């Protein structure tokens, strides 16, 4: 049976905000980088898939940060795949500070997508390489929650530019998080409150599109919905819940 | 006498564009990160200075990229300080691919800035720690060129948001580069042409300001000037020169 794998990290000066703590998008970037490196190390990363024009696509994620680590502090990201079915693989994460105290965790759900045929592939047909990577340990947090359509109270716009897009000319996952955080009042970052974020990625946004970032208050925080201005289909739905 | 120091790097999937090559802002980020790590390792990094509310501020830089490395490829960033005077320290870089071929180089000029008193400090008064770090090797490229005021032909706007700012609530250096690259037609990234960029950082832009990114063609490429919409003082001037 496979084991969890742990990767060392450090809070570099370029990932802190004015509170001198790592930003949530930067911590999420560390988590997603670890997903990529861990898959690559185990033989099913985007490097091995690229030749077949196949890629991992992030479908849903749940992030919990009890606190944000301070500049220059060291932390670890531990990751493991807990299970998978035909459509979705669940990759988990815990974040621990230098004293071993867990300050964050994430549950991410991925599809394997054939970019040529534009369809999800059957994960159970991938053979032993993937099956042997599963670790017998449950997810460290509640899995990504169901998210309802959002009736926005506030709407801002963002035109998709070169610095927003990935290798596929689609908007980068992290930039969606940035767009949501950028709508928050700057004072909201002063206090380091525990935050849970649930995100669903529903459709892809492309270079040149104008996006509408809608948000509405919820009893526990904020709900977001991002759509291309010229379509009715939402691209991203999310819920922020402060504790 | 001190020696040049070399840091290993790899082109991760999240730093490539649709050409599957590292973006220029990503390569510049690698260069600036190496500047920070090298200064920190040698005892005069932002970690050591933070207690006195002093920081390195990038004043000018010249970047030359003959080509952009491909996804997953390994490269090195070599850095050294060649000289300094009262006001400016010159830090140099060369970038080499896995076969040792030099594909990029940079010359950066830094001031040591007292954030409390809002003034540049005398570098020659910092004693032996800094003097002993100087390497007896010239800059690998022409130093940052003189840049004239720009009469913009095209102007776009950008409002400074949370994801643009650094620990000091000022716009991050890399985001200025993004703003300029984001004005280029997407087709201009297809061909991997050698590019030289000269940048002067003249004044700081803050959270909430609306910036005007002006550009004008030059015989060899493009000239840029970025200013806050409510001031006459330019924040950044730059020249892009394609070979």
Backbone angles phi, psi at A221, to 5 degrees: 175, -120
pLDDT of residue B70: 97
pLDDT of residue A90: 97
Chain B CA closest to residue A181: B162
Contact between chains at A17 and B189 (C-beta distance less than 8 A): no
Contact between chains at B14 and A25 (C-beta distance less than 8 A): no
Is the pLDDT at B50 greater than 90, yes or no? Answer: no
Report the Cα–Cα distance between both ends of chain A, in Å, rounded.
36
Q: Would residue A20 be called left, alpha or beta, if left means φ above 0 and alpha means ψ between -120 and 50 degrees?
A: left
Average pLDDT, chain B: 95
- Pick A167's closest partner by Cβ from B18, B29, B167: B18
Identify the weakest region by mean pLDDT among A210-219, B209-218, B229-238.
Answer: B229-238
> B160 CA to chain A: closest CA distance, Å?
9
State whether residue B166 sits within 8 Å of chain A by CB.
Answer: yes
Write out residues 12-41 of A within 8 Å (CB-CB) of B. Answer: 12-14, 16-18, 20, 23, 25, 29, 32-33, 36
> B18 CA to chain A: closest CA distance, Å?
4
pLDDT of residue B171: 97
Structure tokens at A43: 């033989």
What separation in angstroms does the CA of B122 have from each of A91, B85, B92? 52, 8, 20
CB crowding B104-141: b at 16 or more within 10 Å, else e: bbbbbbbbbbeeeeeeebebeeeeeebeebbbeeebbb
Chain A positions touching B211 (Cβ under 8 A) are none
Task: Choose from B158, B163, B180 for mutation: most chain A CBs within 10 A.
Answer: B163
pLDDT of residue A176: 98
pLDDT of residue B192: 93
Is the pLDDT at B23 greater than 80, yes or no? Answer: yes
pLDDT of residue B231: 83
pLDDT digits (tens, 9 = 90+) for B96-154: 999 999 999 999 999 999 989 989 999 998 877 788 999 999 999 999 999 999 999 99
Task: Print pLDDT tens along chain A (243 aa).
Answer: 799 999 999 999 999 999 999 999 999 999 999 999 999 999 999 888 988 889 999 999 999 999 999 999 999 999 999 999 999 999 999 999 999 999 999 999 999 999 899 899 999 988 777 889 999 999 999 999 999 999 999 999 999 999 999 998 999 999 999 999 999 999 999 999 999 999 999 999 999 999 999 999 999 999 999 999 888 789 999 999 999
pLDDT of residue B111: 96
In whole angstroms, give the CA distance from residue B35 to residue B91: 8
> B149 CA to chain A: closest CA distance, Å?
26
pLDDT of residue B177: 98
pLDDT of residue B163: 97
- Pick A46's closest partner by Cβ from B13, B33, B184: B13
Portion of chain B with pLDDT greater than 90, in percent: 87
pLDDT of residue A46: 87
pLDDT of residue A231: 83
Helix/strand/coil for A11:
coil
Chain B positions touching A32 (Cβ under 8 A) are 14
CA dihedral angle for residue B188, residue A168, residue B66, residue B184, rounded to 10 degrees: 30
Report the Cα–Cα distance between both ends of chain B, in Å, rounded.
36
């Amino acid at each position: 049976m496979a084991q969890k794998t742990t990767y060392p990290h450090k809070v570099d000066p370029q990932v802190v905000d004015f509170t001198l703590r790592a930003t949530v998008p930067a911590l999420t970037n560390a988590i997603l980088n670890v997903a990529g490196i861990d898959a690559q190390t185990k033989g099913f990363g985007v490097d091995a898939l690229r030749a077949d024009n196949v890629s991992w696509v992030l479908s849903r994620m749940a992030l919990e940060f009890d606190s944000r680590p301070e500049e220059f502090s060291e932390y670890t990201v531990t990751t493991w795949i807990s299970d998978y079915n035909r459509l979705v693989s669940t990759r988990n994460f815990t974040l621990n500070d230098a004293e071993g105290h867990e300050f964050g965790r994430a549950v991410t759900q991925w599809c394997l997508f054939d970019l040529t045929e534009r369809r999800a592939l059957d994960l159970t047909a991938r053979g032993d390489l993937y099956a042997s990577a599963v670790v017998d340990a449950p997810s460290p947090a509640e899995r990504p929650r169901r998210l309802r359509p959002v009736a926005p109270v506030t709407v801002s716009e963002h035109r998709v530019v070169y610095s927003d897009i990935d290798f596929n000319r689609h908007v980068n996952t992290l930039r969606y998080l940035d767009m949501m955080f950028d709508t928050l009042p700057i004072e909201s970052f002063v206090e380091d409150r525990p935050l849970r974020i649930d995100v669903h990625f529903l459709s892809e946004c492309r270079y040149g599109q104008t996006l509408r970032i809608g948000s509405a208050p919820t009893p526990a925080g904020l709900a977001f919905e991002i759509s291309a201005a010229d379509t009715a289909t939402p691209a991203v739905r999310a819920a922020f819940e402060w504790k």
